[in-house]
Amino acid sequence: MSHIPENPGPGSQPGTTRIVAGETGKPKRKRTLEIALVAGLVLLIGAGAAVASSLSRSPETAPAAAAADAGPATELRLGYFGNITHAPALVGVNKGFIAKDLGATKLSTQVFNAGPAAIEALNAGAIDATYIGPNPAINSYVKSNGQSISIIAGAAAGGAQLVVKPGINSAADLKGKTLASPQLGGTQDVALRAWLGKQGFKTSTDGSGDVSINPTENAQTLKLFQDGKLDGAWLPEPWASRLVLQAGAKVLVDEKDLWEKGEFVTTVLIVNKTFAAEHPATVQALLRGHVESVDWLNAAPAAEKATVLNDGLKAAAGKALPADVIDRSLKNIVFTTDPLAGTYRKLLQDGVDAGTTKQADINGIFDLTALNSVLSESAAGKKISAEGLGKD
């Protein structure tokens, strides 16, 4: 039996209680219904809070949704840059290799200036896959606790240099100078900051320090250097070659000299993990077109290669390049489907030293299974290793 306080009525003493109807009475049924309604409301509020919490998380921190194979995608949205280091994308798109291998899946493309912007688009769901430098890929993987992206292939190695004014002859000459990189947290930005740190210079992501670093779009970097407003820049090709050949810069550091055997990765192909889980056949088709593009780049005559790349650059960046710029750029780059997984622990540490990422476990960042499946279709196909950092 339940008791509730009641205002004293005639003949009642203050503070007394009134006995409510017993276990089988009608008021009890009403009370049960009230309790059930309250419980249901609490559950609903709890569920709503959980949904709101999950929606409030950014795509980089939210875990990848469990996804089942939904068959080929109706569309693949692919990102890349208007750089020679992204030649497999320029060739794959403009010669039609990727569209051909995608079959009924529509190919849409978007051009970026540097990696962090491409990562932002991929994590926001604006694109599904992108060609990109390794450091933004690592940073996204770390920030998302391994949920955002997978590196599925290499694209290019080499092709990045620190180019400076002719009067700068050593690292010591850089003190108090202003340098550029394509974008804060991008692969060349990390390389520059890490190298300066090893020379004893302090830098900051806000541009202060012993050497000022101004992340700047590549086309603007060329103009600012020509106008005398920059002392140098760490750039990918063709921009390093453009500053040398068109603006009188000289090479202070060729990044290949900083790596064992001179091998360092410049461009990889990554995919959104959820998209890959939902559309594995589309990812494999993309990789088939990518492998075709890399093979073509390694076999085509120089003149034909330059023509196709210029067509791709005109489509991506609106302007073709002089023959000498393309020629110098290509001499500095190796096109390969191997992402050089053995270099990623150093790349991560460089990002930590540069202050653009944090120390983390990157085991699982690679999924090379689809790539190795495509490569196995060729008689000369060689399995590519993830070097203990994922599936191969």
pLDDT in tens, 87-133: 999 999 999 999 999 999 999 999 998 888 999 999 999 999 999 99
pLDDT for the residue numbered 113: 87
pLDDT for the residue numbered 380: 63
Query: Is 58 among the domain residues?
Result: no
94 and 122 part of one domain: yes
pLDDT for the residue numbered 331: 94
Nearest to 101, CA basis, from 367, 345, 370: 370
255 and 276 part of one domain: no
144 and 275 part of one domain: yes
301 and 246 part of one domain: no
200 and 254 part of one domain: yes
Its domain, for residue 180, covers 161-262
- Of 262, 283, 316, the position where a domain reaches its end is 262
- Of 262, 278, 303, the position where a domain reaches its end is 262
Q: What is the mean pLDDT of residues 297-316?
A: 93
Beta strand 129-132 with 265-272 is antiparallel
Burial of residue 32 (number of CB atoms within 10 Å: 0-12, 13-18, 19+): exposed
Per-residue pLDDT tens for 276-291? 999 999 999 999 999 9
Domain count for the chain, please give it. Answer: 2
Burial of residue 19 (number of CB atoms within 10 Å: 0-12, 13-18, 19+): exposed
**Higher-scoring residue by pLDDT: 53, 307:** 307
218 and 359 part of one domain: no
Query: Is 19 among the domain residues?
Result: no
| Cα separation values, 74 from 11, 47, 64, 105, 374, Å | 81, 33, 21, 5, 21
pLDDT for the residue numbered 66: 56
Query: Is 248 among the domain residues?
Result: yes
pLDDT for the residue numbered 382: 85
Torsion of CA 214, 217, 222, 227, to 10 degrees: -50
Query: Is 1 among the domain residues?
Result: no
Tokens of 381: 């196909």
Query: Is 35 among the domain residues?
Result: no
Question: Which residues, in sequence order, are CB contacts of 5 under 8 Å at separation 6+?
Answer: 17
Q: How far is CA 294 from the centre of its chain?
A: 21
196 and 100 part of one domain: no
155 and 280 part of one domain: yes
CATH number at residue 141: 3.40.190.10
Tokens of 15: 């503070």
**Higher-scoring residue by pLDDT: 381, 216:** 216
| Cα separation values, 373 from 296, 323, 370, 381, 384, Å | 19, 37, 5, 9, 10
Reported pTM: 0.81
Distance CA 162, CA 171 (A): 11
pLDDT for the residue numbered 63: 45
Query: Is 5 among the domain residues?
Result: no
199 and 144 part of one domain: no
166 and 314 part of one domain: no
Query: Is 179 among the domain residues?
Result: yes
Query: Is 69 among the domain residues?
Result: no
- Of 215, 238, 262, the position where a domain reaches its end is 262
217 and 246 part of one domain: yes
Name residue 130's amino acid: T
Q: What is the mean pLDDT of residues 17-25?
A: 34
pLDDT for the residue numbered 41: 38
290 and 379 part of one domain: yes
